[in-house]
Chains A and B, each alone.
Chain A
Amino acid sequence: MNLTLKIWRQKNASDKGSMVDYKVSDISPDMSFLEMLDVLNEQLINKDEEPVAFDHDCREGICGMCSLYINGEAHGPDRGVTTCQLHMRMFKDGDTITIEPFRATAFPVVKDLIVDRSSFDRIQHAGGFISVNTSGNTIDANATPINKEDADDAFSAATCIGCGACVASCKNSSAMLFVGAKVSQFALLPQGKIEATDRVLNMVKQMDDEGFGNCTNTGACEVECPKGISLENIARMNREYLAASLKG
């Protein structure tokens, strides 16, 4: 395949940035999207130009590091995948592909296609945990049976990879799917109940402080989420938040 790429280039956080056109050829449909970018970068290095900076690590769809906005969609046109799982067979010979970084106030651009998502970490620092000592002196794991459906729902919420696609695809740059997933995981488990009130209040406050917008139930986040995290988690977070506010 031969392709034209329109890529956002931005030297650093204070640079203005612009779209630049590149051509790549001999792209195999079996390549992943990131492998296609590897080909481009090898080409740029050989021409003594600077390669395109992009985040990636595990390349098997689980680390959540790859964060490209492709043809106007987070992680590109395929459903339920991260960018490393997006394959070139989704494109046609001669296509022009637009590649941009995730755009949100709370995700400032670091360079080219790399954004800073440490705001997600700070939300977690505010309450994304259960306050248990790491001593190994806890009760036997089977001493508190957990209803299978609850365990499964908690697991589904916990599979969020923190990639930020939900923020990138939301017109308000809301992080509520991400925060809702974490709040839900602990809200569904007996171990997480005790500090549920503080958790949801603190995490939501931090989310607002970081500059994420609000949810207006458009649902784009759920559609673009590579892990299929459900909107139910936002509803659950809202219920938890309301209950906590009344209690507080």
Chain B
Amino acid sequence: MALDSKIPQGPIKDKWTDYKNHIDLVNPANKRNIDVIIVGTGLAGGSAAATLAELGYNVKAFCFQDSPRRAHSIAAQGGINAAKNYQGDGDSTYRLFYDTVKGGDYRSREANVYRLAEVSANIIDQCVAQGVPFAREYGGLLDNRSFGGVLVSRTFYAAGQTGQQLLLGAYSAMNRQIGRGKIKMYNRHEMLDVVKVDGKARGIITRNLITGEVERHSAHAVVLGTGGYGNVFFLSTNAMGSNVTAGWKAHKKGAYFANPCYTQIHPTCIPVSGDHQSKLTLMSESLRNDGRIWVPKHMKDVEAIKSGALKPRELAEDDRDYYLERRYPAFGNLVPRDVASRAAKERCDAGFGVNATGEAVFLDFASAIQRYGKETAHVKGLDENDAALVKKLGQEVIKNKYGNLFQMYEKIVDQDPYNTPMMIYPAVHYTMGGVWVDYNLMTTVPGLYCIGEANFSDHGANRLGASALMQGLADGYFVLPYTIGDYLSDDIRTGPISTDSKEFEEAENDVRKQLEFFVTNKGSHSVDYFHKKLGKIMWNKVGMSRNVKGLTEAIAEIKALREQFWKEVKVPGTNEEYNEELAKAGRVADFLELGELFAKDALNREESCGGHFREDAVELDGEQKGEAKRNDEDFAYVSAWEYKGEPSDAVLHKEELEFKDIELKQRSYK
């Protein structure tokens, strides 16, 4: 099947408006006869559920958590971008569009990104109207801050808990519709398959995680808002339950999977401390607004710091290597995530890592504390030369801005970041790849939509800070409600979809078969045993830097691990009860397939772009020497994989990316 992105004609700034003016609408009376299933209730799924219910559709929403309020969007810290230009610093829809396309290393779809930038300002208005308590200035107006990869201040935030507040906003909008009976909410339910009838998505099979009951649910359209698949690495910043199952089952039913190898490695996470670790914790990128990143210049100081003979505070300014400020003077500590992550890895690989494992760099707030302290003393007419006072005042400012992050760091690491620099290291965070969708956010399966992190469309090969929340809410509140109506307008005479058809029966039987296999296969290793092994292969060979040899090995190793999994996995308990191991087994089975496709996609992409650094694609000379080398001539496409059985049989389709409004250029942050 040829890929049709369905991008509307006309100038980029008019595409979305023209599109909305010409789509088919559904009469309100008919909306009452149409059912929509939404899987996942984070920012994308939750906002979509609320909006579709408000429009009048019957919504059935599903989440695996005990409440939609716990979706992992809640953990996003830093903020949400919007081209409001409240600061008058030159921001505009075009500039947000430009920064996002450039930041994504020119691997996203122009039309989608422009639309995202266009609706971004509405998101802020909407959320404020819902009672989202964004940070305010003393005059009562909204405050902004800056994020990596941009030169304007366009990020709206609520301390370090922006994701939480936005999610609670979407959750409250959902609550209003649940209260009205327009959304039927299924908590603690996991989607285990998509059901297609006559080629269209018409329902899902779920498992009630408490009772084990396998259920059939039908609808006129199915929307997946199920988040990212970073947990394929075992260790990531994702919640423990985040998984790829919904997207992967959709893939097996005909939805193409796009750019699986595009993973964002976030530069500011708490380093791994040992083998016991179950997940990684991210420290918001907003910390780079005030924190300076460094490692010692000299190996003797690295050794002294590691052994505890030298405190990082005591190292003289001249003996520190502020390597981001050195390499990228224009953006300094605010370079985009992929650049910051690679630079940290480069220093640590060269031996300058500052913790026991050699995989950490410092994020230092001492100079910000000084600067803010002096400023506050000046404003209050106090003595700017009183070092203790300045430090105290400066710490108060930092506490107001990042207090919860500092507290979180202290609890985990047992060190006080106000008095000693934090240690950070890159970790797997957001996945830019996902289910392929067209401009309407529909997958290659008619009636099956995919929104938010679960799709691939807006971020290219790298996601800029504060753009994920923006995409989730844009898709859910403002884009999908239009595009899905155009599709559903053909369904006004369909009537309720029966779940008694052979398609539902077959899908249910397949699901039951797999569940039964797991609880009767008396193997010798736990699910986590396999997940950890997969994670090691992924991180070592398909992680921040990749080469042909490693990727080829990874493909073979994952395949072998998958075979071993199906022979030797052990799942205690039964299906007719709460059984966490059983739920995990299904998720890891899908990760073991996705992992191989991920490596295969990485092998295909013979260029460095985004977080994806190919060791054989590097600039050899000039100003960009040593930086990642993109290859626009051969790789300016979306790789969309078609399922054909084993991941090794997957067929590659290419959506060529056209850049009409932005010139493809070398990304330079120097």
Chain B residues whose C-beta falls within 8 Å of the C-beta of A121 in the assembled complex:
67, 69, 175, 178, 185, 187
Q: B620 in the interface, Cβ–Cβ < 8 Å? A: no
Q: Are A65 and B274 in contact (CB under 8 A)?
A: no
Q: A192 in the interface, Cβ–Cβ < 8 Å? A: yes
Interface string of B132-143 (1 = CB under 8 A from A): 011111111110
Q: Are A117 and B580 in contact (CB under 8 A)?
A: no
Chain B residues whose C-beta falls within 8 Å of the C-beta of A80 in the assembled complex:
407
User: Looking at the complex, which one of B70, B86, B572 makes contact with A64 (CB distance below 8 Å)?
Assistant: B70
Q: A246 in the interface, Cβ–Cβ < 8 Å? A: no
Q: B176 in the interface, Cβ–Cβ < 8 Å? A: yes
Q: Are A158 and B137 in contact (CB under 8 A)?
A: no
28 contacts between A and B (CB under 8 A): A30-B274, A30-B414, A34-B278, A39-B276, A45-B572, A46-B526, A57-B65, A61-B411, A62-B75, A65-B65, A85-B411, A121-B175, A125-B175, A129-B131, A129-B175, A129-B176, A132-B130, A134-B47, A135-B54, A136-B477, A138-B125, A146-B140, A148-B136, A151-B136, A154-B133, A155-B158, A185-B131, A186-B131
Chain B residues whose C-beta falls within 8 Å of the C-beta of A162 in the assembled complex:
67, 69
Q: Are A57 and B70 in contact (CB under 8 A)?
A: yes
Q: Are A110 and B210 in contact (CB under 8 A)?
A: yes
Known: A63-B75, A141-B124. A147 touches B140 (CB 8 A): yes
Chain B residues whose C-beta falls within 8 Å of the C-beta of A176 in the assembled complex:
none
**A binding-site residues for B, Cβ under 8 Å:** 11-12, 28, 30-32, 34-35, 38-39, 42, 44-46, 48-51, 53, 55-65, 78, 80-81, 85, 87, 89, 110-111, 114, 116-118, 120-121, 124-136, 138-142, 144-148, 151-152, 154-155, 158-159, 161-162, 185-186, 189, 191-192
Minimum Cβ distance to chain B for residue A133 (Å)? 6
Q: Are A12 and B136 in contact (CB under 8 A)?
A: no
Q: B50 in the interface, Cβ–Cβ < 8 Å? A: yes
- Complex Cα–Cα for A51 and B282 (A): 29
User: Please, which residue of chain B has its CB at the minimum distance from the CB of A136?
Assistant: B122
Known: A57-B239, A58-B239, A136-B119. A65 touches B411 (CB 8 A): no
Known: A39-B276, A45-B581, A134-B477. A185 touches B69 (CB 8 A): no
User: Looking at the complex, which one of A133, A139, A145, A158 makes contact with B139 (CB distance below 8 Å)?
Assistant: A145
Q: Are B172 and A139 in contact (CB under 8 A)?
A: no
- Complex Cα–Cα for A151 and B159 (A): 11
Q: B179 in the interface, Cβ–Cβ < 8 Å? A: yes
Instruction: Report the 6 A-B pairs with minimum CB-CB distance, sorted nearest first.
Output: A145-B140, A136-B122, A129-B172, A155-B133, A138-B129, A141-B128
Q: Are A134 and B51 in contact (CB under 8 A)?
A: yes
Known: A87-B412, A129-B173, A134-B50. A191 touches B129 (CB 8 A): yes
- Complex Cα–Cα for A77 and B248 (A): 41
- Complex Cα–Cα for A56 and B70 (A): 10
- Complex Cα–Cα for A114 and B577 (A): 13
- Complex Cα–Cα for A139 and B119 (A): 14
User: Looking at the complex, which one of B66, B135, B528, B578 makes contact with A111 (CB distance below 8 Å)?
Assistant: B578
Q: B165 in the interface, Cβ–Cβ < 8 Å? A: yes
Q: Are A192 and B276 in contact (CB under 8 A)?
A: no
Q: Are A38 and B72 in contact (CB under 8 A)?
A: no
- Complex Cα–Cα for A188 and B394 (A): 29
Minimum Cβ distance to chain A for residue B368 (Å)? 21
Q: Are A57 and B241 in contact (CB under 8 A)?
A: yes
- List residues of B (51-85) whose CB comes within 8 Å of A's CBs: 51, 54, 65-67, 69-70, 72, 74-75, 84
Q: B408 in the interface, Cβ–Cβ < 8 Å? A: yes
